[in-house]
Structure 1
Amino acid sequence: MHGTYNLWLVAASLVVATLASFTALDISARIATLAQSRSRQVWLAGGAASMGIGIWSMHFIGVLAFQLPIPLGYDLQITAGSLGIAVLVSFFALHVITGKRLTARRLVASSLLMGAGIAAMHYTGDAAMRMQPAITYDPVLYTASVVIAVVASGAALWIAHTLSAANLRNVMAKRVVSAVVMGIAICGMHYTGNAAAEFVPGSICGAANDVDAHWLATTVALFTFAILIITLVLSRFDARTALLAGSVSRLNGQIVRMATFDTLTDLPNRRTMNERIERAIRHAAQQRSGFAILFMDLDGFKTINDSLGHTIGDEVLKAFARRLQECVRGGDTVARLGGDEFVVMLENLNAPTDAEKMSERILDTMKQGLVVASHPLQVMPSIGIALYPQDGDSVEALLKHADVAMYEAKRGGRSTYRFFEASMNEAAVRTLQIQQALHEALSGGHFYLLFQPKFHGKSGELAGAEALIRLDHPQIGTLTPLEFIPIAERSGQIVQIGYWVVRETCRHLANWRAEGRPPVKVAINLSPRQMHEADLVENVMRIVREEGVPSDQIMFEITETVAMQDAPRTIEMIRAFQENGIEIAIDDFGTGYSSLAYLQRFRAKQLKIDRFFTNGLDENGQEGRAIVSAIIALAHSLDMDVVAEGVETGSQLNRLQDMACDEMQGFLLAVPLSAEAFSGMLEKRTVSA
């Protein structure tokens, strides 16, 4: 007895098989992302039910598509049994493909079991018709259907396991194509099994009166489509929800990390360090123990930033942070407070000498130097040490006192360490007062200039002057440069102060000219910070032009030590000033490097003998006179004028005149004068002329 096929149901079975395959692939990917939790088990059970119903539905629709010239029906219990087999097979398949590893041996064994399960489901579905006499099967086609089931199962397991990783490229398109291939393979197994079935002529269906085939076909198709689509929607929604939750969790983690760690060096930031110090204080109070705070910043870091750029500066900070972490012990905390400021907290100290040894270790390690972007650099810190509980019992006090000690280390020569002492507080308070005064000085008009006259050595006539800045603050009184210049240098305020001196000097020169005074050359000191300004020459010349002063009335003095810090840069800057008509003097000669090779290349206009050597004319006898005579002779051989500063005795004046010193200045000749008093000196010079 031969049967026919309902092509609409055949097409429906293919669609169901493809949709079931896609659902299986999607669910397997979802389950693979879940941890071993209750949620994973729920999805495994639900996915097995959905996938099992889909596979069973495809087979059953395929069975229903087969029509015989006799009434057909299906036994409800046997049909339900075939559905149970499909669900169990699906659970087994999902369990296999969502595992971490799918070895070849496990794949073969799983393919055999799953293929046997699918074949059992198919032939159990056939048995639900209860044909009399029973259905017989062609051995070749029967075997072929089982082989197809095993091969299709193996291919499905391998494809599903491979595509369970959500990070694959174009994963959705690959799942669609794979679902179509798997659907065709599943249908191929089913219809091969159908072809193997042989119905004896005159056979009757024993279940013809149980469940109507047409009603069953419609119900199964609609029910299956609904279940598969709902399962897919839930899977996609759950995946989106999990993705959103994961993104929120990661974002929250990033926000927390940004709030507690420094983004550049990945060290704890100021807030985190404060919390850890508070915790250390509580612990130390309970245990009656101590700890140390090492506060440090990098000497000359601004020079690196200005000369090599902020990108290199950032790399230097990161390299220093890594080197610092290598120095400390496992339980110590290293933090970056900001800029080039770092703090190390040493807990469980046995004695203050532990902090001293750690500071020495850090300094010795940093002396090895760093190589950043092919630049060999030696980045050294100055370290201030505060101990708990003797130097403070709060976060604020400990950090403040360690900071104070660090500045004392800088004043002590840099690249060293100092323990906090109570006497440092007075100096720190004074420093803070001066810092505040400097902030107010420019806008409040608290700065003013004095002019130290310079005289020709032979004739004793006025040769010029040196501009000297003073600070007269309404609260803290008059300050000398020795008191506020180092503080302004460290804070960077010296740059703007330096430009103010240039403008104020030019303003006085213009006023003297308007008063009919003869032209005079005024020397202005340049600070180390100003020397590192890339646009120093341009800014100075702009000020000179705005004030309408001839550039040859300005001379800049650079100390020998500063000039030699970056000799090529100094030469370049001197050339730029000379091209604009401004001469340069080398100040404090003999106290620094005294490099004759560079001194010749500088081609400066003047060489200023430091007051130490001038005093030596009286104190050191013949040896002192020999040194000054040699300096003057050296300068004259290089076509440079010599200026001796600090002339305070008649014997010094006489000896300098005998040595043909070109110019002199000092309290013996004239004290620093106000602008008005110096103008009067210029007037007398005009009258005498």
Structure 2
Amino acid sequence: MQGTVDGFSYGTVTPVTAYVMACLGAALGLRCITRSLRDDDDTSWKPGWLALGAASIGCGIWTMHFIAMIGFQVEESRIRYDVGLTILSLAVAVVVVGLGVFAVGYRGAGTTTLLVAGTFTGLGVAGMHYIGMAAIRLNGSLRYDVPTVALSVVIALVAATAALWAAVAIRGFLTSLGASLVMGVAVSGMHYTGMAAVSVHLHGASGGPGAGGSAHSLLLPMLTGPVLFLLLAGVVVMFDPMLVLGEGDWNRTTARRRAPGRQQDPPAWSGSAFEPPPRTGRRGYEPGAPTRRNG
């Protein structure tokens, strides 16, 4: 017996909220990675910034997935989630993204490094998605359309590679923001492509229409931690001026503050309107020099 699947039981609320969380995680991750690449004088902070960036991207992807899953229902069966597999999917998202981020953070965005790290990270993101799907418990089994699953994996690979490239190649605040919006589209597209591959084969009747559920009692509490982490990461980013300013603006600001022997602008002339100001650059007319009179 085929189950009736509804992936948008709350309309546009869940996909829009999921997209926003994916963009937030991507934006925070990009800014943190960019910050790590600017620590030329003190590299002791670099691992911390990279770890914060990887955790932000991983939490953003995981949060996006399970917010979208709140809208997933099967009319004929109640849905529950296995706690262990749900937590494992979060760990996979953070750890695998972290490996890719650290690879490009220390080795740069060379073609070989980018392709290897992007492929590994993309497979990890796809793995996170399907581990999360394996955590679903209902009175039936999930079946997948193989070509559609393959397409979702390809989208994950492209999105991960583009994210890693953007992390090391894009420095400006506005360009990072634009890149995070594109990455949010890619991550959401990967998720809903994977969901389009799903069909449910029921083991038997377990109730009439409306008997289904979306496991709010598990998903909402588990989402609280990653969402709070993203908000705290946002506070860290906003209190670091180098992350808010563009690289050129920050460099110009620090150069003005730290330039040794920077000459001050000469004070404005405050003498009488009928008395000419002292001239500089010519012998005998320096400021403060005594005036010679004839006779």
Flag whether TM exceeds 0.5 (same fold). Answer: yes
2:167 and 2:116 mapped to 1: Cα distance? 16
CA distance in 2, matches of 1:19, 1:241: 15
Q: What's 1:273 paired with?
A: none
- Residue by residue over 1:5-55, the C-alpha shift from the partner in whole angstroms, topping out at 9 and shown as x without a partner, is 232222211111111111112111122212463322222223322322121
Structure 2: runs of 5 or more not aligned: 207-212, 264-278
TM normalised by structure 2 equals 0.75
Consecutive unaligned residues of structure 1, counting only runs of 5 or more, are 166-170, 206-210, 260-305, 314-338, 340-491, 501-689
* Structure 2 counterpart of 1:310: 281
User: Offset at 1:86?
Assistant: 0.6
Q: 2: CA distance between counterparts of 1:219 and 1:42?
A: 27
Matches within 5 A, 1:583-594: none
Q: Match for 2:80 among 67, 73, 77?
A: 73
Q: Are 2:94 and 1:87 equivalent residues in the alignment?
A: yes
Pair 48,204 (structure 1): closer, same or farther in 2 beyond 3 Å: farther
Which residue in the other structure is 2:26 paired with?
21
Aligned to 1:9: 14
Contact 2:115 2:161 in 1 (8 A): yes
| Paired AA for residue 15 in structure 1 | V
C-alpha change, 1:204 and 1:44, in structure 2 (3 Å) is farther
Q: 1:43 aligns with which of 49, 64, 67?
A: 49
Which aligned pairs between 1:516-531 and structure 2 lie closer than 5 A?
none
The separation in 2 between residues aligned to 1:142 and 1:15, in whole angstroms, is 24
What are the superposed Cα offsets for residues 435-456 of structure 1, whole Å, 9 maximum, x if unpaired?
A: xxxxxxxxxxxxxxxxxxxxxx
In 2, the alpha carbon distance for the partners of 1:225 and 1:181 equals: 21
Q: How does 1:271-670 map to 2 (within 5 A)?
A: 310=281, 496=292, 499-500=294-295
| 2:81 partner SS | coil
CA distance in 2, matches of 1:310, 1:187: 67
1:82, 1:60 → 2: CA distance? Answer: 10
C-alpha separation in 2, matches of 1:192 and 1:32: 34
The question of whether the paired residues in 1 share the 8 Å contact of 2:79 and 2:137 is answered with no
Q: Does the CA contact (< 8 Å) of 2:237 and 2:244 recur in 1?
A: no
Structure 1 position 98 matched with structure 2 position 91: no
Please tell me whether Structure 1 or Structure 2 has the larger radius of gyration of its CA atoms.
1
Aligned residue for 1:200, secondary structure, equals strand
* 1:223 to partner: Cα distance: 4.0
> For the Cα contact (< 8 Å) 1:32–1:98, is it kept in 2?
yes
How big is the shift at 1:143?
0.5
Letter in 1 for 2:70: L
Partner of 1:178: 179
Quote the Cα distance in structure 2 between the aligned partners of 1:216 and 1:145: 26
Paired residue for 2:235? 233
- Deviations 1:639-662 (CA, angstroms, capped at 9, x unpaired): xxxxxxxxxxxxxxxxxxxxxxxx
**Counterpart residue identity of residue 196, structure 2:** A
Instruction: Give, in whole Å, the separation in 1 of the partners of 2:140 and 2:51.
Output: 39
Counterpart amino acid of 2:65? Answer: H
Distance in 1 (alpha carbons) for counterparts of 2:186 and 2:220: 24
Give the letter aligned to residue 281 of structure 2.
H
- Quick one: distance in 1 between partners of 2:220 and 2:176? 28
C-alpha change, 1:258 and 1:196, in structure 2 (3 Å) is closer
Alpha-carbon RMSD: 3.5
CA distance in 2 between counterparts of 1:250 and 1:155 reads 35
Q: 2: CA distance between counterparts of 1:142 and 1:204? A: 28
Q: Is the 8 A contact 2:27 2:180 kept in 1?
A: yes
Tell me what 2:209 maps to.
Answer: none
| Whole-Å separation in 2 of the counterparts to 1:14 and 1:108 | 26
Deviation at 1:189, TM superposition (A): 0.4
Query: Deviation string for 1:379-417 (max 9, x for gaps)?
Result: xxxxxxxxxxxxxxxxxxxxxxxxxxxxxxxxxxxxxxx
Q: CA deviation at 1:122?
A: 0.4
State whether residues 114 and 165 of structure 2, in contact with CA within 8 Å, keep that contact through their aligned partners in structure 1. yes
The answer to whether structure 1 residue 64 and structure 2 residue 70 are counterparts is yes
Shift of 1:240: 5.1
**How far apart are 1:234 and its partner, in Å?**
0.5
> Cα deviation per residue 1:159-218 (whole Å; 9 max; x = unaligned)?
22221x3xxxxx33222222111101101101111111221133699xxxxx97213343
Give the conservation status (yes or no) of the 8 Å contact 1:73–1:129.
yes
User: Superposed, which structure 2 residues align to 1:208-223 within 5 Å?
Assistant: 213-223=215-225
Contact 1:64 1:217 in 2 (8 A): yes
1:135 corresponds to which of 134, 142, 151: 142
**Residues 54, 101 of structure 2: 8 Å contact kept:** yes
- Measured in 2, the distance between the counterparts of 1:250 and 1:241 equals 19
Structure 2 letter corresponding to 1:310: G
SS in structure 1 at match of 2:136: coil
- Residues 204 and 20 (structure 1), Cα distance of their counterparts in 2 relative to 1, 3 Å cut: farther
Residue 232 of structure 2 aligns to which amino acid in structure 1?
Answer: I
Contact 1:86 1:117 in 2 (8 A): yes
Which structure carries more strand by proportion? Answer: 1
1:119 aligns with 2:126: yes
Question: 1:100 offset after TM fit, Å?
Answer: 6.3
Q: 1:203 to 1:157 in 2, by over 3 A?
A: farther
CA 87–2 in structure 1, closer or farther in 2 if over 3 Å, else same? same
The reply to whether residue 251 of structure 1 matches residue 239 of structure 2 is: no
Provide the C-alpha distance between the structure 2 equivalents of 1:101 and 1:252, rounded to a whole number of angstroms: 29
Q: Deviations over 1:233-269 (max 9, x none)?
A: 212213459999x967973562xx469xxxxxxxxxx
Aligned length: 259
The 2-side partners of 1:38 and 1:204 are apart by 60
Question: Residue deviations 1:420-464, cap 9 Å, x none?
Answer: xxxxxxxxxxxxxxxxxxxxxxxxxxxxxxxxxxxxxxxxxxxxx
Question: What is the percentage of aligned positions where both structures have the same residue?
Answer: 29
Distance in 2 separating the partners of 1:242 and 1:232? 11
- CA distance in structure 1 between the partners assigned to 2:243 and 2:18 by the alignment: 32
Task: Quote how far apart the aligned CAs of 1:220 are.
Answer: 4.5
Amino acid paired to 1:62: A
The AA in structure 1 aligned to 2:131 is T
